[in-house]
Structure 1
Amino acid sequence: MKKKQWQGWGPGEQAEQHYLVQPRALAGGGDVRHVSEFLRASGWRDKSKTGGPLFMESPDRTVRVAYDPYVLPGGWTIHGRADGASGEWSAHLARQAPVEIVAGLTDALTRPRSAHAPNVWAPLQEQNWHTRFEGEHYVATSPDGTAWMQYRQNPDGTAMWWTGAQDKQGNGWTAHFTPNTPMYLVQAFSTELASPDPVMRPRGRVPHSAQIRTWSVSVKPSQLSAWQQARITAARAATWARNSARSTRPRTTARAHAAADGTRTRR
């Protein structure tokens, strides 16, 4: 009796070689769609021009996410418009910033803020990063010394968040956030930066570095597709739930249905 083939696998589908890479901060950029498809599923508008850089805008038009690989140095730019509670802010991440770490910040843009006060350093300390003061700067470095997070206080009075990763050969990336970038977004970023979980890269897309560890895995295209679809489905479900909650929220002002004399008011 022949073993029944799972219907998600096409006839003759061949497994492809991929690699799990650790630490994730040195895994290279990855597939930009990891970020963009989640935002699209969360109701963001894709305003990219055909053949041009990625450009997406939040449903309320207050935040824009762009990725431009066609200019130097290129990479990610995330810009938040000033509102009543906070000023204008921006984040800039180089092209080799892993998309899984970038998504820590961009995914958080689609979710409500937590009621708890954010703490950028807590996720790093939980993973045994070394935190300390260096002059006017507060710094955290990963246990292997390849990644860092720093709050810089410059002599001219300016400040910024500065982060990145670099191996001994000088390969890596940097990123910086303006000081008024919402703290919950910086914490979401630091959580993914510090995560010990490896990330997956296809053969030929693994950086040449003596400081990364890799494990070869065989993955069917349908499996990759299913994993990607699960992330998109989760984004759609969360967006639907938020929209439904807003639409069913009771009105804050009572609506008069009848006048004091018993006659209905005109609507």
Structure 2
Amino acid sequence: MKKKQWQGWGPGEQAEQHYLIKPRALAGGGDIRHVSEFLRACGWRDRSKPGGPLLMDSPDRSIRIGYDPFVQPGGWTIHGKATAHQEEWTAILGRQAPVEIVAGLTDALTRPRSAHAPDVWAPLQEQRWHIPPGDGHITAVSPDRSAWMQFHQAPDGHAMWWSGAQDHQGNGWTAQFTATTPMHLVQSYAAALASPEPVMRPRGRVPHSARIRTTSVSVLPSQLSAWQQARITAARATAWARTSWQTNRPPTTTSPHATQRSARAHR
């Protein structure tokens, strides 16, 4: 007996096997377009050369993001130039850092800072990470002990953030952030690292690790496209709102004293 295709899938569309992976920190790198397409929709400029590594600049050219898989160990480099209100900073994430976790940091680069003081440890505590007291450094470890986040300060005063994930076979990745990295970015990264939500990988892209748990799902190409487009649409809406506010914000009110000084200067 010949099976009939369910008509709700659309003409000629075939479901594809994917896997939901937990913990997300051990899911492998994933598709870098998850990061790059969002940034492009937010107005970032793609400086990449054909066939070369990814290279993107922020609209004001103060931040550069690169991904280079052609060198060892390869991975992500995010560099912020020194400005009037921010010291120079750098973040480096390994090639196997899941793009969903990388996006926790890079997406935050496109949003205005919150008025609340950032707390890197808060999203980890919410997910019951273990944070024992330390001397000169603080280390948070995930409940399954597969991922960590550490602030380390050496006796000479040099400080840095160090993070990553590793399984029993030694497979994994690390990330480093200079102490000057804006805290709201480190907090956004920590929230993405600790998120209990699984991430999805296609068949053939699932890491060989005894530490991960997988759930097989059937996904239509149109579903994947719709999910990706929803993320791009959200990025464009955010970019439009930011541009609209900057264009239409009211002018700064001039103080009476400044007006008087200006009047006197023109007499």
TM-score normalized by structure 1? 0.91
Residue 207 of structure 2 corresponds to 207
What is the alpha-carbon distance in structure 2 between the residues aligned to residue 5 and residue 204 of structure 1? 28
Residue 227 of structure 1 corresponds to 227
What is the alpha-carbon distance in structure 2 between the residues aligned to residue 99 and residue 63 of structure 1? 18
Give every structure 1 segment of 4 or more consecutive aligned residues whose post-TM-superposition deviation is greater than 2 Å.
Answer: 2-6
- Secondary structure class of the residue paired with 2:38: helix
- Secondary structure class of the residue paired with 2:104: helix
- Deviation per CA, 1:50-87: give whole Å up to 9, x if none: 00000000001100000000000000000000011121
Residue 257 of structure 1 corresponds to none
* Structure 1 position 3, deviation (Å): 11
- Secondary structure class of the residue paired with 1:241: helix
* Stretch deviating more after TM superposition (152-161 or 181-190): 152-161
**1:162 equivalenced with 2:123 (yes/no):** no
What is the alpha-carbon distance in structure 2 between the residues aligned to residue 61 and residue 160 of structure 1? 25
What is the alpha-carbon distance in structure 2 between the residues aligned to residue 4 and residue 49 of structure 1? 43
What is the alpha-carbon distance in structure 2 between the residues aligned to residue 76 and residue 211 of structure 1? 24
1:185-196 mapped onto 2 (5 Å cutoff): 185-196=185-196
Query: One-letter code of the match for 2:54?
Result: L
What is the alpha-carbon distance in structure 2 between the residues aligned to residue 17 and residue 3 of structure 1? 16
Residue 264 of structure 1 corresponds to none
Distance 1:87 1:219, change over 3 A: same
What is the alpha-carbon distance in structure 2 between the residues aligned to residue 204 and residue 55 of structure 1? 27
- Secondary structure class of the residue paired with 2:40: helix
**1:53 equivalenced with 2:62 (yes/no):** no
Query: One-letter code of the match for 1:224?
Result: L
Query: One-letter code of the match for 2:38?
Result: F
**1:118 equivalenced with 2:118 (yes/no):** yes
1:1-267 mapped onto 2 (5 Å cutoff): 5=7, 10-252=10-252
What is the alpha-carbon distance in structure 2 between the residues aligned to residue 96 and residue 134 of structure 1? 28
- Deviation per CA, 1:90-143: give whole Å up to 9, x if none: 000000000000000000000000000000000000000001233311010000
What is the alpha-carbon distance in structure 2 between the residues aligned to residue 135 and residue 13 of structure 1? 58
TM-score normalized by structure 2? 0.91
CA RMSD of aligned residues (A): 1.6
What is the alpha-carbon distance in structure 2 between the residues aligned to residue 142 and residue 207 of structure 1? 19
Residue 262 of structure 2 corresponds to none
- Secondary structure class of the residue paired with 2:110: coil
* Structure 1 position 176, deviation (Å): 0.3
* Structure 1 position 202, deviation (Å): 0.3
- Secondary structure class of the residue paired with 1:131: coil
Task: Count matched residues.
Answer: 251
* Stretch deviating more after TM superposition (154-163 or 69-78): 154-163
- Secondary structure class of the residue paired with 1:235: helix
- Deviation per CA, 1:132-173: give whole Å up to 9, x if none: 233311010000000000001123321100000001110100
- Secondary structure class of the residue paired with 2:131: strand
Distance 1:218 1:89, change over 3 A: same
- Secondary structure class of the residue paired with 1:133: coil
What is the alpha-carbon distance in structure 1 between the residues aligned to residue 5 and residue 158 of structure 2? 66
Query: One-letter code of the match for 2:56?
Result: M
* Structure 1 position 239, deviation (Å): 0.6
What is the alpha-carbon distance in structure 2 between the residues aligned to residue 98 and residue 3 of structure 1? 34
Query: One-letter code of the match for 1:210?
Result: A
Structure 2 gaps of 5+ residues are: 255-267
Query: One-letter code of the match for 1:56?
Result: M
- Deviation per CA, 1:30-54: give whole Å up to 9, x if none: 0000000000000000000000000
- Secondary structure class of the residue paired with 1:143: coil
